[in-house]
């Protein structure tokens, strides 16, 4: 009797442990451990510019503007800058400003390291580091601008479209192709999305799915484009500006808050991004369909979380959340830690 | 008659001396324990990741220190064993093992196992040789914080010094094998791995004989 009781307890214990074991579809634990990468103590890296092998980045731990050269980091400017972008000769960074007040803006000349304060009358909301684009708030209106040798040039204006309490986001595919996505004017739950010409984007069906979520990634190629909603949905625009839902990235979680732009890069007609499991997906911009990438650079990077990408021809630099910088060689389909 | 007495004397001598020789032989094979004796042991030490064997991957084996990307960890356990005869003790062990990978994510394992120990040399100094079989509940702090229940096999050899009749210290080393098996339908079945860790421990034992 006593023996039977012990067997029953042992069986119950095993069943309980089996039930609370939860690795149904995840990758192997030992496999992941064998692929683990040392953390780099600079925090999350937002890449801004590559120049002659040197990388310029905004880092969350070591100081705002950093230069990564020859395997080591150095601080360029430790002011509490908030926004960064770059043109061919300068890196620009702006400090945070009070509502509707102009930001303090500085330029860093890459060639000689000269720091210069730029006269500015604009309230800058955000910058797109890799495409030299700036989103400016002007009363109830929003303007997209770009730096042109120490001055801000106008590109497009969006007047009265958005809820001014929560500013929209500027998401770019290039210096000329971008969208603005944000809460609609007068609404706290419905989003509107405009292209670079100020034209509103719409859908023929799935209205709620399109309007209930902000767009957080955008890639354009040959007049066609794809948008990624914060719920992982891929929307395809064949050029008509009436979008179609094609498919949904699995295991996808947006960055909090959910309207923040999501890290991705565009190469050779495809948009590449990671999901929450760090799996890479490539979206064919010409048709809006995606496929999961299981090998090559995607396998090499399956153990790090990307925070930003910087494309330089066949090289793609990856700024990670905790593991420093990686370089993808798209020709050889491989990635290495820098 | 005198010759007959001499033969009798020699036979008597042999009969008297023979048990003495027999007694010497028992001393070499000294028995500290009997059926019913028991041992209670606390162990603590380091756990050295030894290798990961992934039969579906290339390379199939990655070894410590560089290829495993796993750091030296620690472990502790409690063990109780009762002797089934003078040399074999059977019992159970409950432990806790931890290690960090290169990404500073924590792997923990709670092994619970049946343990059989053979002690060929007994007394003040002992050489315990053990095998164990059981289960381990394993958790990982990285990624999606997965956990899994696995089988567990252990082997261990040690050297003990009993500084008092009932209290002893043991230095031991062994190998813990933890298989992480995924069946063919699992999306990552090819990542099935046998994890091997080498515990090097110092333990204190109380024996009751």
B201 preceded by cis ω (within 30°)? no
Q: Quote the pLDDT of residue B170.
A: 97
CB-based contact A217:A264 (threshold 8 Å) = yes
pLDDT in tens, B97-135: 999 999 889 999 999 999 999 999 999 999 999 999 999
- Residue B124 CA from chain centroid, whole number: 19
pLDDT > 70: percent of chain A: 96
Which is higher by pLDDT, B96 or B4?
B96
Q: Does residue B74 surpass a pLDDT of 50?
A: yes
- Cβ–Cβ below 8 Å for A29 and B148: yes
- Cβ–Cβ below 8 Å for B102 and A36: yes
Of the residues A13, A21, A23, A326, the best mutation for testing chain B's interface (the one with the most B CB atoms within 10 Å of its CB) is A23
pLDDT in tens, A306-320: 999 999 999 999 999
B179 pLDDT band (50/70/90 cuts)?
A: very high
The residues, ordered by sequence, that sit 6+ positions from B139 with a Cβ below 8 Å of its Cβ are: B107, B108, B109, B145, B146, B147
Average of per-residue pLDDT values in chain A: 88
Q: Does residue B25 surpass a pLDDT of 80?
A: no
Q: Does residue A334 surpass a pLDDT of 80?
A: yes
- Cβ–Cβ below 8 Å for A26 and B144: yes
* ipTM of the prediction: 0.84
CB-based contact B128:B115 (threshold 8 Å) = no
Q: Quote the pLDDT of residue B11.
A: 46
> Measured between alpha carbons, how far is B79 from B81 in angstroms, rounded to an integer?
7
Q: Quote the pLDDT of residue B9.
A: 44
Residues from B in contact with A at Cβ < 8 Å: 52, 54, 57, 62, 67-70, 101-105, 107, 135, 137-138, 140, 142-144, 146-149, 180, 182, 186-188, 191-193, 195
pLDDT in tens, A40-85: 888 899 999 999 889 999 888 876 788 999 888 888 876 778 888 8
Q: Does residue B4 surpass a pLDDT of 80?
A: no
- Cβ–Cβ below 8 Å for A33 and B68: yes
Using a CB-CB distance cutoff of 8 angstroms, which residues of chain B are in contact with residue A39? 103-104
Q: Quote the pLDDT of residue A60.
A: 85
Phi, psi of B54 (to 5 degrees): -115, 100
Q: Does residue A300 surpass a pLDDT of 90?
A: no
Q: Quote the pLDDT of residue A184.
A: 94
CB-based contact A189:A144 (threshold 8 Å) = no
- Cβ–Cβ below 8 Å for A28 and B140: no
- Cβ–Cβ below 8 Å for B69 and A30: no
Q: Quote the pLDDT of residue B6.
A: 41
Angstrom CA distances, A146 to A30, A102, A255, A301, B177, stand at 48, 16, 26, 33, 60
| Beta carbon pairs, A and B, within 8 Å | 95
pLDDT in tens, A229-270: 999 999 999 999 899 998 999 878 888 788 889 999 999 999
Nearest-Cα residue of chain B relative to residue A324: B103
The residues, ordered by sequence, that sit 6+ positions from A281 with a Cβ below 8 Å of its Cβ are: A249, A272, A273, A274, A275, A290, A291, A292, A293
Q: What is the mean pLDDT of residues A289-298?
A: 92
Q: Quote the pLDDT of residue B38.
A: 95
Nearest to B135 among A14, A29, A278 (CB): A14
Nearest to B147 among A22, A27, A35 (CB): A22
Q: Does residue B191 surpass a pLDDT of 80?
A: yes
B17 pLDDT band (50/70/90 cuts)?
A: very low
CB-based contact B207:B70 (threshold 8 Å) = no
pTM of the model: 0.71
- Cβ–Cβ below 8 Å for B70 and A25: no
Q: Quote the pLDDT of residue A24.
A: 64
Q: Point out the least confidently predicted range of A1-5, A175-179, A294-298, B41-45.
A: A1-5
């Amino acid at each position: 009797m006593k023996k039977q009781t012990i067997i029953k307890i042992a069986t119950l214990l095993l069943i309980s442990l089996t039930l609370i074991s939860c690795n149904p579809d995840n990758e192997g634990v030992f496999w992941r451990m064998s692929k683990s990468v040392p953390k780099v103590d600079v925090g999350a890296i937002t890449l801004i510019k590559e120049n002659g092998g040197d990388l310029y980045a905004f880092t969350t731990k070591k100081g705002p503007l950093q230069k990564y050269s020859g395997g080591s980091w150095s601080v360029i400017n430790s002011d509490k800058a908030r926004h960064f972008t770059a043109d061919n000769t300068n890196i620009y960074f702006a400090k945070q400003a009070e509502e509707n007040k102009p930001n303090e803006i500085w330029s860093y000349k890459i060639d000689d390291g000269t720091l210069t304060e730029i006269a500015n009358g604009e309230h800058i909301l955000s910058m797109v580091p890799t495409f030299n684009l700036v989103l400016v708030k002007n009363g109830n209106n929003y303007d997209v601008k770009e730096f042109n040798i120490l001055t801000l040039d106008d590109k497009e204006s969006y007047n009265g479209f958005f809820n001014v309490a929560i500013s929209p986001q500027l998401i770019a595919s290039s210096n000329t192709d971008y969208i603005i996505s944000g809460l609609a004017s007068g609404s706290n739950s419905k989003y509107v999305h405009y292209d670079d010409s100020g034209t509103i984007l719409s859908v023929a069906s799935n209205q709620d799915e399109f309007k209930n979520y902000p767009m957080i990634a955008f890639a354009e190629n040959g007049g066609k484009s794809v948008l990624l909603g914060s719920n992982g949905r891929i929307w395809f625009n064949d050029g008509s500006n009436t979008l179609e839902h094609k498919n949904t990235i699995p295991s996808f979680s947006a960055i909090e808050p959910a309207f923040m732009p999501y890290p991705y890069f565009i190469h050779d007609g495809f948009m590449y991004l990671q999901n929450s499991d760090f799996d890479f997906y490539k979206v064919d911009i010409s048709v809006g369909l995606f496929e999961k990438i299981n090998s090559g650079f995607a396998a090499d990077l399956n153990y790090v979380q990307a925070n930003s990408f910087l494309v330089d021809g066949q090289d793609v630099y990856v700024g990670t959340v905790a593991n420093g910088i990686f370089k993808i060689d798209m020709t050889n389909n491989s990635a290495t830690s820098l | 008659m005198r010759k007959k007495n001499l033969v009798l004397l020699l036979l008597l001598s042999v009969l008297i001396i023979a048990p003495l020789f027999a007694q010497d032989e028992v001393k070499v094979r000294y028995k500290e324990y009997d059926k019913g004796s028991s041992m209670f042991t606390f162990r603590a030490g380091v756990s050295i990741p030894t290798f990961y064997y992934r039969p579906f991957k290339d390379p199939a084996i990655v070894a410590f220190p560089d290829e495993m990307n796993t750091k030296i960890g620690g472990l502790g356990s409690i063990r109780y064993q009762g002797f089934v005869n003078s040399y074999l003790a059977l019992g159970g062990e409950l432990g806790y093992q931890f290690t960090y990978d290169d990404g500073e994510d924590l792997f923990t394992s709670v092994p619970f196992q049946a343990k059989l120990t053979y002690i060929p040399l007994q007394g003040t100094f002992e050489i315990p040789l053990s095998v164990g079989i059981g289960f381990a509940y394993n958790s990982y702090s990285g990624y999606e914080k997965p956990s899994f229940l696995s089988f567990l096999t252990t082997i261990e050899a040690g050297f003990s010094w009993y500084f008092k009749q009932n209290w002893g210290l043991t230095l031991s080393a062994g190998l813990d094998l933890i298989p992480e098996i995924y069946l063919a339908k699992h999306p990552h079945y090819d990542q099935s791995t046998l994890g091997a860790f080498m515990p090097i421990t110092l333990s204190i034992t109380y024996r009751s004989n």
